[in-house]
Structure 1
Amino acid sequence: MSLNLSFDNTANAFEYKSNQQLKKAHFLFSAMGNNWLVNIGTKITPWAIKAGLPIKGIIRSTIFEQFVGGETLEQTAKVADKLEEYHVQVILDYGVEGGDYGEDEKDHARDEFIRVINYAATQHNIPFMSIKVTGLVRFSLLEKMDQLMHEAQGTLIKRYEQVLTQLNTDEKAEWQRVWDRMMLICTTASSKNIGVLIDAEETWIQNPVDALVTLMMDHFNKEKAVVYNTAQMYRHDRLQFVKDCFEAAAQRNFILGMKLVRGAYMEKERKRAEEMNYPSPIQPDKASSDRDFNAAVTFCLHNIDRIATIVASHNDESNLLAAKILDEKGLPHNHHHVHFSQLYGMSDNITFNLAKAGYNVSKYLPFGPIKDVVPYLMRRAQENSSMSGQTGRELGLIKKEMKRRAIS
C-alpha cells in the first residue's frame, strides 16, 4: 500500500505515557505473557472479589489501570481529557455485564446508560457510548426468543414479529419493558447527538438483539447514524448478515450503523457447539476471519452514503485497508461515516498514529466499580496471554520505545 501511514512510530504511540507508565505497562504485559500466571489469576480473581478478600488495591494499580478508565465517570474524565490532548476520541462503556438480575437492576442499568449519554454530551471528544442489551433484559428470555426465531420463517424482522405472538402474557410485558428501556436510551442519545453502539452477544441470544437494534435504527437513523449494531466477523455468517442489514436499510430508508469487530466469545462458542452437537458458528481459522472482516470493511466503505462504519480492530492490515479506501475514493480522513477504534490499553501504535494522520479514532474506554468490570478484565488478560499474539506485539512496541527513550 502506498499510504503515507505507518503503525511503527512508537514515539507517536506512547507520547502520552510517562517513563514510569511505560515501565509499568512493560511489567504488566510481561506478566500476561505467562500462561500459567494468567490461568491462575483469571480463576482466583473473580472468586477473591466475591469473597471480599483485600485484593482490589492490587487490581486497581495493575490490570485495571491499564484497561479501564476509572471506577466513576469523574475518574474516567481525567483519562478522556488526556486522550483529547492527542486528538483521540472516546467510546464510553459502563461496565455492566449480563445476568438474570431483577427489574430494578435493569432499570438502574438503563439510568446509568442515560447518565453516560448526558455526560458525553458535555464533552468534546466523546461521540459514542456502548451498551450491552444483556444489562437490560433477562438472558433466558433472549434464549427463548432466539430459539423461536430459528424455528420461524422469513426475514429477521418477520421472524421477530412471529415470535412476539408466541410469548406468554408475562413475557410480552417483560419484553415491552426492554423495548421501553431501549427507546428511552436511544431517544436521549438522539437528542444529545451521541451515538449508541450495541455490543454483540453470544450466538444463541443474538437474533432478538439484532432485531431490536434493527428496529431502533429504523426509528432513529433516518437522517443520521445514532444507533449501531455490532458484527462479529469470526462468525462465518456475518458477512452475509452485514449485506442483509444493508438491504434492510435500503428498503426501510435508514442509515445503517455498523461496528465491525472480529469477536469476543470464540472458545465459549466452540465449546458449546461441541457439547450440544451442532455446527460451530465460528470461522474455521483466523485467515477466514481476516478475509471476511476485510471484505466487510470494503463493502461498508463502498456504500459510505448509506452505511456509517466503525472499524474496531487491532489488526494493522484492516486499519490500513480502510484508510486506503478513503484515499482511493478521494474522501477526507475524518469522514463522518468512518470511525476507527481500539480498546484502551492496547494497540496505541494504531490509535495514536491514526489520530496524528487526522482520522476519526477513539479508545473504547470502560468504567465502573472493580467488581463490575472484573469479567471484562479477565477477558483482556486471557486474550493477551498468547506471547505470539497481542502480548508479544505490545511488548515489542513498548521495548522499542523504551530503547528509543533509553529507559532501562
Structure 2
Amino acid sequence: MIDPKPVASTPQRISFDDTEIAFSSKSNSELRKMYGLFASMNSNFLVKTGTAFLKAAFAIKFPFVRQIIKNTIFEHFCGGETIEECEKTTRELWKFRVGTILDYSVEGAKTDAGFEATTQEIIRTIEKAAGNPAIPFSVFKITGLASTELLQKVQNGNALNSEEQKDFVHVKERVERICHKAYEKKVRIFIDAEETWIQDTIDRLAYEMMEMFNHEEPIVYNTFQMYRWDMLDNLKKAHEAAVEGGYFLGVKLVRGAYMEKEGRVAKAEGRQDPIQPNKPSTDRDFNDALRFCIANYPKIAICAGTHNEESTYFLIELMKEAGIAPADSHIFFAQLYGMSDNLSYNLSHAGYNVAKYVPYGPVAAVMPYLFRRASENTAIAGQSSREFRLIKKEMRRRKL
C-alpha cells in the first residue's frame, strides 16, 4: 500500500473553502469532467429527465448505455464493479490519507442464496480491510441479509411460523458470522440504519453483536439517524446499556436517508411522523449527539458521517476542548465518495481521521444507489450548488 502524504505539522484552522487542498487529487481534465457532471446535476429538469431516460434505456437494453453510465456518474460516485476494481480508488484516496469504506451497494436480494452471497461479499470486504490502514471500516445493511417483511414482522411482535423462525435464526447467524469475522480480523464494521418499521429489529441485532465483540475495543458500530426526533434519547439508552454490559458503544452519527418515505408511510398509516419538525431540530440533535459522545469518550467510539460544515467544525472544537488528538482512533469523520471533498481532504490534511464511503457493484445493480445520489444532490438544499461553486472556484484558481 502506498504511503500517504504527510499531514500538517502544526495545528491550524481548517478552511473548508480551501479548494487547492480539496481538489489536490484531481487533474485539470478530471476537474472539467466534474464540472460537467455537477452542472447537469444542478438542474432538477435534467436530473428528472435523465433518470427517466436511463431507467428506460436499461429496461430495453439500449446499446452503450451501460458504458456511458460507467464512464460518468458511476465513475464519480462508485469505486468499481468489484473489490478488485476498487483498489485504484483506495490507493488514490490513501495518497492523501483519506480512508476507504468498501460499501457493497447491490440491492434487492430476495432469496436465501442471494442473502448468503451478500454475506460472503461483506466478509470479503473485511478480509480486504484486515491489517490495511487505508480501509478503516467495513459496512453492511441487515436488509442485504434478510427480507424486510421478516424484519418488520419480528419488530411488530407478530407470531412467526416455523419457516419464518428458521429464517430469522439464519439472519442472526449471518450477522454474527460477519461480526465475528470483523472481530477476528480487528476490522471495525458499521451496521447501517434503515426505515423505522424495521430499525428496532436492526438495533437489537446490533447491540447483541456489540455485547459479544466490543469488550476489548469498538468493533461493531450502530447507526443513529438524527432526523428522527427520538434518536438522541435512543443514543443515551444505548450508552446506558453499554455501560451496564461493560462494552464499548460504537456510534455512527448521520442525519438520515429515508425522510420522504418515512413521512409518507406514517401519514398513510395514521401514526406519528418519526421525523423532526424541521432541519434546525435535526441539526441541534446531531450536534447534541456529538457533544454526548465526546463527553463519554473513550467508552463511545464515534464516526461522524456528515457533509455539514458547521457540525464538522463543532466536532473539531469539542475534540480540542476535551484534549483529544486529531488522529485518535476512536473518532472518525466520513463522507460519500464523489461528494464534499472540501471536507474530506482538508480534514485529512490537518491530521484528522477521515474516510469515504466507496460504493461498488455491477453497474446495473448499483443504479438505484446512483439515482438516489442524483436526486439527493438536487433535493438537498444547495448540495449540488455547493459542489459546483467549489469546482468553479478551483478552476479559476488554477487558471490564474
Please confirm whether the aligned pair reaches a TM-score higher than 0.5, indicating the same fold.
yes
Aligned counterparts, 1:146-165, within 5 A: 146-148=155-157
| SS, match of residue 339 in structure 2 | coil
TM-score by length of 1: 0.92
CA distance in 1, matches of 2:277, 2:51: 27
Contact 1:98 1:132 in 2 (8 A): no
CA distance in 2, matches of 1:46, 1:200: 27
1:338 corresponds in structure 2 to: 331
Aligned counterparts, 1:204-353, within 5 A: 204-353=197-346
2:104 corresponds in structure 1 to: 94
| SS, match of residue 394 in structure 1 | helix
Matched, 1:371 2:381: no
Q: 2:386 aligned to 384, 393, 405, which one?
A: 393
| SS, match of residue 61 in structure 2 | coil
1:30 corresponds in structure 2 to: 39
Aligned counterparts, 1:4-23, within 5 A: 4-23=13-32
Letter in 2 for 1:146: Q
Q: Report Cα offsets for 1:242-283 as digits up to 9, x if no partner.
A: 111101101111100010001111111111112222111111
Distance 1:313 1:113, change over 3 A: same
Deviation at 1:122, TM superposition (A): 5.2
Q: Report Cα offsets for 1:367-393 as digits up to 9, x if no partner.
A: 110112111111110110148510010
What's the % identity of the aligned pairs? 46
Deviation at 1:96, TM superposition (A): 2.2
Deviation at 1:43, TM superposition (A): 3.4
Matched, 1:57 2:67: yes
Distance 1:388 1:204, change over 3 A: closer
Letter in 1 for 2:127: N
Contact 2:106 2:362 in 1 (8 A): no
Distance 1:380 1:298, change over 3 A: same
Q: 1:192 aligned to 185, 192, 195, which one?
A: 185
| SS, match of residue 130 in structure 1 | strand
| SS, match of residue 403 in structure 1 | helix
1:137 corresponds in structure 2 to: 146
1:74 corresponds in structure 2 to: 84
| SS, match of residue 271 in structure 1 | helix
Q: Report Cα offsets for 1:57-97 as digits up to 9, x if no partner.
A: 11111111111001111111100001111011111111122
Number of residue pairs the alignment of both structures matches:
389
- Structure 1 gap ranges (5+): 149-162
Distance 1:266 1:43, change over 3 A: farther
Distance 1:7 1:205, change over 3 A: same
CA distance in 2, matches of 1:350, 1:320: 10
CA distance in 1, matches of 2:243, 2:133: 32
2:95 corresponds in structure 1 to: 85
| SS, match of residue 356 in structure 2 | strand
Contact 2:151 2:198 in 1 (8 A): yes
CA distance in 1, matches of 2:194, 2:169: 20
2:164 corresponds in structure 1 to: 171
1:156 corresponds in structure 2 to: none
Contact 1:233 1:289 in 2 (8 A): yes
Distance 1:51 1:172, change over 3 A: same
Contact 1:143 1:204 in 2 (8 A): yes
CA distance in 2, matches of 1:32, 1:123: 35
CA distance in 2, matches of 1:186, 1:349: 33
CA distance in 1, matches of 2:173, 2:90: 30
Q: Report Cα offsets for 1:203-245 as digits up to 9, x if no partner.
A: 1111101100110011010111111100111111111111111
CA distance in 2, matches of 1:311, 1:198: 14
Deviation at 1:98, TM superposition (A): 4.3
Distance 1:207 1:51, change over 3 A: farther
Distance 1:168 1:262, change over 3 A: same
Deviation at 1:184, TM superposition (A): 1.0
| SS, match of residue 384 in structure 1 | helix
CA distance in 2, matches of 1:49, 1:248: 48
| SS, match of residue 310 in structure 1 | strand
TM-score by length of 2: 0.94
2:353 corresponds in structure 1 to: 360
Aligned counterparts, 1:107-146, within 5 A: 107-121=116-130, 123-146=132-155
| SS, match of residue 13 in structure 2 | coil
| SS, match of residue 74 in structure 1 | coil
Contact 1:33 1:387 in 2 (8 A): no
CA distance in 1, matches of 2:299, 2:240: 10
Contact 1:386 1:392 in 2 (8 A): no
Letter in 2 for 1:226: I
Contact 2:254 2:304 in 1 (8 A): yes
1:158 corresponds in structure 2 to: none
Q: Please, which moves more after superposition, 138-147 or 389-398?
A: 138-147
Deviation at 1:200, TM superposition (A): 0.6
